[in-house]
Structure 1
Amino acid sequence: MIEVNNITITLKKDTVLKEVSYAFESGKIYGLRGRNGAGKTMLLRALAGLIPVKEGQIKIDDQVLGDKIDFPPSMGLLIENNNLAPEFTLTKNLQLLGKIKKVATDDDIATTITRVGLDPKDTRKVAKFSLGMKQRGAIAQALFEKPMLILLDEPTNAIDQQGVIEIRELLAAEAKRGATIILASHNPEDLSVLADEIIDLSHGEIVKHA
């Protein structure tokens, strides 16, 4: 359970989130909808612990973010640019990341890469990947440790039509596993197909949810 309680965030005198409150449950997919600058990415960054919350609070399973925990303990993240190291293969990237928490095996890594439609035995460096392949790799990076909170900003960007279908099926499977998925997308079909609940944001405020 993720609880957002009346958070307001101001950056350089600009209020990017204003009195936002919401409860996110496990096993559900939540879609964030709104124009550029509406606050979608800022809300994702706040939930990820990337922006300090000084007014209001975010609780992850009753632990206050920024108090006893700096980041959600089990989180997969894709926000704006992917963080894959271009000089390594995708498999090597995930193996290096996996050494931090040591919760994912080589089999987990290979399985996840296959699930996003790539080849775990591909010897090409990420620098040689197409934009669509890099996006798939970034999704694999967000999922390979089987996180319980998955935050995604425009996850189907640069992915071909068949790939979009595959990624949607993958995310639905992750929710069925019990993960909480919160995604922002300008693709209305992503939200209509995937989201159990859609949250509309405007000027940093939640203006509607259904």
Structure 2
Amino acid sequence: MIEIRNVSLRLDGKSILNNISLTLEPGKIYGLVGSNGSGKTMLMKCICGFVHPTEGEIKTDGRRVGKDVDYLPNAGIIIETPGFIPYYSGLQNLRLLAGIRRKVTDDQIRKALKITGLDPDSRLWVRKYSLGMRQRLGIAQAIMEQPDILILDEPMNGLDKHGVADIRELLMELKKQGKLILLASHNPADIELLCDEVYEMELGNIRNFS
């Protein structure tokens, strides 16, 4: 569970988030909608612990993000364009990332690539990937450690219709497994088909749109 309590954020004298309170529970997909600059990405960064709110607090299982824990634990995250080493293959990139925490086996990495529609045996450098392939690799990176929480900012970016269908199916399966998923998307169909609850953001304010 993630509890967001009275979170506000000001940067350079500008109000970015205004007194936001939400409770996010396992086994649900939550949608965030709103125009560019509405605060969606910054809220996600605060939840993950990448940015610390000016006021309020964010807790997961009773622990305060940024205080009791530095970052949101047990979370797979896509915020903005995932960065990979261009002259490594997809498998090599994920192996390198997995080596940081040593939580997953090579078989689990290969499975994550297959689930997202990539060939783990491909030697193609990431620099030669299409935008859609890079996005699939980002999703594979987010799920490879089998996290309980997924924070996904525009995960369908660059995917063709078949890729979108594949990732929607994957997210629904992860929801059935009890994952907590927070999804931001500009595609109304993603929100309508996937989300149990929808929140709209505008100028740093949030309201339930379900």
TM tier, smaller: over 0.9
**Structure 2 counterpart of 1:18, one-letter code:** N
**Structure 2 counterpart of 1:151, one-letter code:** I
Question: What secondary structure sits across from 1:107 in the alignment?
Answer: helix
Q: Determine the C-alpha separation between the residues in 2 that align with 1:133 and 1:125.
A: 11
Deviation at 1:46, TM superposition (A): 0.7
TM-score (norm 1): 0.97
Deviation at 1:19, TM superposition (A): 0.2
Deviation at 1:83, TM superposition (A): 1.6
* Residue 185 in structure 1 maps to residue 173 in structure 2: no
Q: In 1, are the aligned partners of 2:10 and 2:54 still within 8 Å (CA)? A: no
Q: How large is the Cα RMSD of the aligned pairs? A: 0.9
**Structure 2 counterpart of 1:150, one-letter code:** L
Q: In 2, are the aligned partners of 1:53 and 1:66 still within 8 Å (CA)? A: no
Q: How many residues align?
A: 210
Question: What secondary structure sits across from 1:31 in the alignment?
Answer: strand
**Structure 2 counterpart of 1:76, one-letter code:** G
Which position in structure 2 is the counterpart of 1:150?
A: 150
Deviation at 1:145, TM superposition (A): 0.6
Question: What secondary structure sits across from 2:113 in the alignment?
Answer: helix
- Write the deviation string for residues 35-82 of structure 1: whole angstroms up to 9, x where unpaired: 111111111111111101230000011000111101011011111111
Q: Determine the C-alpha separation between the residues in 2 that align with 1:61 and 1:175.
A: 19
**Structure 2 counterpart of 1:39, one-letter code:** G
Which position in structure 2 is the counterpart of 1:36?
A: 36
* Residue 56 in structure 1 maps to residue 56 in structure 2: yes
Aligned positions of 1:16-165 closer than 5 A: 16-165=16-165
Deviation at 1:209, TM superposition (A): 3.4
Which position in structure 2 is the counterpart of 1:175?
A: 175
Which position in structure 2 is the counterpart of 1:6?
A: 6
**Structure 2 counterpart of 1:31, one-letter code:** G
Question: What secondary structure sits across from 2:56 in the alignment?
Answer: strand
Question: What secondary structure sits across from 1:147 in the alignment?
Answer: coil
- Write the deviation string for residues 88-127 of structure 1: whole angstroms up to 9, x where unpaired: 1111111111112211111111111011111000101111
**Structure 2 counterpart of 1:34, one-letter code:** G
Deviation at 1:195, TM superposition (A): 0.5
**Please, which runs of 5 or more residues in structure 1 have no aligned partner?**
none
| Identical amino acids, percent of aligned pairs | 43
Question: What secondary structure sits across from 2:206 in the alignment?
Answer: strand
Q: In 1, are the aligned partners of 2:40 and 2:201 still within 8 Å (CA)? A: yes
Q: Determine the C-alpha separation between the residues in 2 that align with 1:174 and 1:12.
A: 39
**Please, which runs of 5 or more residues in structure 2 have no aligned partner?**
none
